[in-house]
Amino acid sequence: MLWHISRSPDWNQFTWESVWALLAHANPGWLVAAVACTFSSYVVRAYRWKFFLDPVKSASLKVLFSAQILGFSAVYLIGRPGELVRPAYIARWEGLPFASQLAILVLERIYDSVAVALLFALGLYLEPIPLGSPHAALTLHRMHETALVVLAGTAGLVALLVLFRFRAERLITWWEQRFSLLPSKWRSGPAGVARSFAEGLDVIENWRDLGYSVACTAVLWVINVSVFWSVYKSLGGRLAELSWWAATVTVFSAGVGLVAQLPGVGGGFQFAVLFALKQTLHIPPTEATSAALLLWLVILVPCVLTGLVLLIYGGLSFKHLQAMVQAEQATVSGGHPARELPASRSRV
């Protein structure tokens, strides 16, 4: 972005004053709608996790919702290592193996990857994007390639997981026989993790379970796209003219950008949104920058503030969440678990 501001003629008229002016005059009604959609997405994620868990245990929706809020707050504040907070929190409060909840996290990521790639394809089909220059055509072509890589990688992962699920016992038996000379904990530890992980994959027992999980995923990503679209509407101008389907293009780009981000400040997310708006949808730099910043605030601030409230209510802190993750990881590796949380600290 700094390179563009200093070198590109498209950015000659860019000023931060104009960005702050746009943000200050954003339509509050559309911003409230965006925040409502943000909270709704965590409720739907909790319901989807509950559908995954139903064949094993009837989990508390309150615990699952708290796990989504705390987990995503951790991701926003400390980066990708925070991903483990959700499965660790649910495993702790529901008395389930950590490895089984990791398996559900993997399934969730598969559902989300397919949903985002399909939405991107539908968005391009239903809202054709005018290619104003060879550079824009090249940008869109690269986004196509990235979507294909996402789908291909997801298909490969699904195939590996299915193969592992049906061959798990055979693989575990082979491991135990092949390394029979190793100490017992080194043999039984990985074997137990593999069994728990395989059980976690066995959460879709019939067409009803599959239908519920797919329906939850569809609703979730309609809500997520609506967050972006509502923010664009709130800022007005060229952004307000974007259709809901055009917003799916920026959602896909933001998903890719989330892979690389700095704890607490993002970076990858904002750059990816700015890139998609400016290069693909031809939004002026000032408006594109305002949208990227406002989206990050609308997504991060409500989640983190709610997470802090839940932590205070439960007498916890992010340090306790980190200790919880370490304790669950220790049970998986067969080592000594981290210090337990004080008994007086009730569940959130």
Task: Write the DSSP assignment of 180-195 as a string of letters.
Answer: TTS-HHHHHHHHHHHH
In-domain check, residue 89: yes
Per-residue pLDDT tens digits for 78-92: 777 788 899 999 988
**Core vs surface per residue 225-256: b (16+ CB within 10 A) or e:** bbbbbbbbbbbeeebeebebbbbbbbbbbbbb
The torsion angles phi and psi of 266, rounded to 5 degrees, stand at 75, -115
Residues 107/108/113/118 CA torsion (nearest 10 deg): 100
The torsion angles phi and psi of 296, rounded to 5 degrees, stand at -60, -40
The torsion angles phi and psi of 54, rounded to 5 degrees, stand at -50, -40
In-domain check, residue 2: no
In-domain check, residue 3: no
- The residue-averaged pLDDT of 144-153 equals 75
Per-residue pLDDT tens digits for 296-336: 889 988 999 999 998 888 777 777 777 778 777 676 655 44
Of the candidate ranges 44-53, 124-133, 152-161, the one whose mean pLDDT is the lowest = 124-133
In-domain check, residue 178: yes
pLDDT of residue 339 exceeding 50: no
The torsion angles phi and psi of 241, rounded to 5 degrees, stand at -80, -15
CA distance 4 to 330: 47
pLDDT of residue 348 exceeding 70: no
In-domain check, residue 156: yes
In-domain check, residue 268: yes
Q: How many CB atoms lie within 10 A of CB 272?
A: 24
Of the candidate ranges 39-43, 86-90, 190-194, 237-241, the one whose mean pLDDT is the lowest = 190-194
Residue 87 near residue 105 (C-beta atoms within 8 A): yes
Binning pLDDT at 50, 70 and 90, where does residue 347 land?
very low
Read off the tokens for 197: 């992980």
Report the pLDDT value the prediction gives residue 224, as an integer from 0 to 100.
Answer: 95
SS3 65: helix
Read off the tokens for 14: 């860019």
Read off the tokens for 151: 């789908």
Residue 204 near residue 213 (C-beta atoms within 8 A): yes
pTM beyond 0.95: the answer is: no
First to last CA, the chain: 41
CA distance 346 to 118: 41
In-domain check, residue 339: no
Binning pLDDT at 50, 70 and 90, where does residue 344 land?
very low
In-domain check, residue 7: no
Domain containing 157 equals: 17-333
Tally of domains within the chain = 1
pLDDT of residue 35 exceeding 60: yes
